[in-house]
Amino acid sequence: GSFAAAGGLLGAPSPLTAPMDGMLAVWACVLAARAVLGLGTDPDLQIDVITELELVNSTRGVTQVFGVHNGSKAFLFQDGQREIHAAPHMSEKVIQLFRNKSEFTFLASIQQRSSTSGVILSIREMEHSFFELESSGLRDEIRYHYRFNGKSRTEAFPYRLADGQWHKIALTVSASHVLLHVDCNRIYERVIDPPDTNLSPGSSLWLGQRNRKHGFFKGVIQDVKIIFMPNGYITQCPNLNRTCPTCSDFLSLVQGIMDLQELLAKMTAKLNYAESRLGQLENCHCEKTCQVREVIYRDKDSWVEDDHCRNCTCKNGAVECRRMLCPPLNCSSDSLPVHIAGQCCKVCRPKCIYGGRELAEGDRILAKSCRECKNGALQKLTEPCPSLNCSETDRVLPENQCCSVCRDIDECAAKMHYCHSNTVCVNLPGSYRCDCVSGFIRVDDFSCTEHDECGGGESSCDENAICANSVLGHSCTCKPGYVGNGTVCRAFCEEGCRYGGTCVAPNKCLCPSGFTGSHCEKDIDECALRTHTCWNDSACVNLEGGFDCLCPSGPSCTGDCPHEGGLKRNGQVWTLKEDRCSVCSCKDGKIFCRRTACDCQNPSVDLFCCPECDTRVTSQCLDQTGHKVYHSGDNWTYGCQQCQCLEGEVDCWPLTCPILTCEYTTISEGECCSHCVDDPCIADSDPYDISKTCQDPQGITRLGGSVWTMVGSPCTTCKCKNGSVCCSVDLDCLHNN
């Protein structure tokens, strides 16, 4: 491979990046050469999965057999009750090796039973696949499942591995570049969303299955390895050409340039600011002032903070405050020192005497009526006392007050509270509260639970349900737009989906071939759109859900049918090579294909083609939640996948989305397919497409994907996205500053 080829995957280099292309290429090639040329594979940067799993002939569900060669162990995977997964220490090793890696290769040699589907290797946490390689013999495709920005992604490569023959497979991921080699031939090369490689703690590695219940591989597996180096496929096929630099090498260097560019922009802004400040300082006498509550004080100015009773002074730009010292009071015999609202120091005020008691200014006494000491005399008060909700025996009269209050009851000590287990009762004036014991989470005002089943992934709720913790466990409620019992929620389309369409999201239908519309009510006119396959000597006639080709009469129409580069005679009947369940016939220049008729009473009926005739319990399937049973031949949707049960095996593939021709697209939360948007800032973008540059307000050219803080506005972050400058304000930053 060459640098030009790698650059072509990312888009044509911009004028900004073109001068440094040669330097990037040379430096990346040096790095790649040091890693792989003549030095072999670093054992610390690879995992031999079968060796690490310590598989032996006695491991349940697998049997050691002869492989494609005798240099390593090979195992036959056949039992559906097996659990072949890594021990915790090996899983932790996998997590550490994947961390912050943008380049890795999965290698294996497999011999898969014909027309079966199964997972070769899966690295997952609960229901989330970080890396999963699956081979479907039902649809003849290889699937790579991964996660990007916390969302599931699937790349499907049409190829038949499940043919009973030995194959070498190598899947290489290099940042946003994926390569697929089969039998040392590069069959696919694509640009994808860069996968998340920071695996969650608790992630596990499974071999020959997705998890305990699904994705069982049937066949022989040998030489399973994960290589964390550039061009890892060379380990399996030493004679293949190396890519120099790899996409990951190139993007690492680009990221370094973007970081340097950001640093240069920041330093330039700081230098300009410093020069501006210096220019101002040359013509002024600098005096350090103090600013308090929007008031500017000069150096050595003093003032009084009445609300805090402090004397403050501005000293060399800093505020120094000391508590105000009050002078000693020498009150006369007919007065007492008291605090007056709005004043910092006590003052002498005339006292009152009643029944031999001395009362200070503001004190109250209950003598037939409520009286308050004011200006040396007891004055009668007419304001009523507040009503109390306690009995007479529970009321007390505070000192120097006229109105009684309720005596506080310690509900906690008296056990008059409603706090449940896992809580601690805390007494409050006139009330109490229930605090959760450490390690427990709140359910309501009086209850706490030990486990967060919803947040910990232990719930039985459907992915389209809302989980709520409770004392006894948790409850599940379907989200708006979905119906079900919470454990199983299915999308609801108010007008239904016609002509066999499937409701895949609230009021979103996935239409069968030949139909379109919000609920599949519109027929696609293949003749008008010229998407038909009629030959020149036949006429296209639109039909509901399809089309027909009419052969005109005359000597020029033989009635024969062109088929796969050959010719089928008029009246000839045959079975498709790639689909044993379909029978085709040629009649008057037209090919008619139909599914094989199913006679469930016939003991020799092909259950693969007629799954509805399969009544065996072993042919039933559990859905992904493990709560619903499907019969062989049943179809359903899960997440953004179409799933089918066939002879006890579950096979799922991504839903087919319409092709969009607009410039900007995005996938909304809870939806499976992209839709068009006008705003480039809310659209999805390729984070590694550096060809679309932007010019910021300072005139600096930014590479696509670069992020910076706006000059003069520390709470505003900008990003070069889809060739546009997209800025957002951090509200928390604004509040804190």
**Which whole number is the average pLDDT over 701-720?**
85
Minimum mean pLDDT range among 21-30, 90-99, 185-194, 489-498: 21-30
Mean pLDDT rounded to a whole number for the chain: 82
Distance CA 173, CA 153 (A): 14
Give the count of alpha carbons within 13 A of 496, CB side only: 4
User: What residues have CB less than 8 Å from 438, skipping those under 6 apart?
Assistant: none
Does a structural domain hold residue 81?
yes
Domain boundaries, position 636 = 611-654
Q: How confident is the model at residue 109 (pLDDT cuts 50, 70, 90)?
A: very high
Does a structural domain hold residue 457?
no
Indicate if the pLDDT at residue 303 is higher than 50.
Answer: yes
Indicate if the pLDDT at residue 374 is higher than 50.
Answer: yes
Residue 425: how many CB atoms within 10 A of its CB?
A: 18
Distance CA 370, CA 382 (A): 8
Does a structural domain hold residue 103?
yes
Among residues 406, 435, 455, which one ends one of the domains?
Answer: 406
Domain identity same for 69 and 118: yes
The pTM of the full predicted model, rounded to 2 decimals, is: 0.51
Does a structural domain hold residue 666?
no
Does a structural domain hold residue 578?
no
Domain identity same for 637 and 717: no
Domain identity same for 682 and 729: yes
From residue 553, give the alpha-carbon distance in Å to each of 39, 441, 550: 72, 80, 9
pLDDT tens-digit series, residues 310-336: 889 999 888 888 888 888 888 888 888
Among residues 281, 298, 323, which one ends one of the domains?
Answer: 323
Domain identity same for 86 and 174: yes
Give the count of alpha carbons within 13 A of 641, CB side only: 18
Does a structural domain hold residue 507?
no
Q: Which of these, 109, 107, 145, 112, lies nearest to 129 by C-alpha position?
A: 145
**Which whole number is the average pLDDT over 711-726?**
87
**Which whole number is the average pLDDT over 711-734?**
86
User: Of 149-153, 213-217, 615-619, which has the strongest mean pLDDT?
Assistant: 213-217
pLDDT tens-digit series, residues 334-371: 888 888 877 888 889 899 988 888 888 888 887 778 88
Percent of the chain with pLDDT over 70: 89
- Greater model confidence, 127 or 660: 660
Domain identity same for 232 and 342: no
Q: Report how many domains make up the chain.
A: 5
pLDDT at 25: 47
- Greater model confidence, 69 or 23: 69
Does a structural domain hold residue 342?
yes
Domain identity same for 205 and 141: yes
Domain identity same for 93 and 119: yes
pLDDT tens-digit series, residues 249-285: 767 777 777 778 778 878 888 888 888 878 777 776 6
**Which whole number is the average pLDDT over 695-705?**
83
Does a structural domain hold residue 642?
yes
* Residue 626's CATH number: 2.10.70
pLDDT tens-digit series, residues 3-40: 333 333 333 344 334 444 444 444 444 444 444 444 45
Backbone angles phi, psi at 259, to 5 degrees: -65, -45
Indicate if the pLDDT at residue 438 is higher than 80.
Answer: no
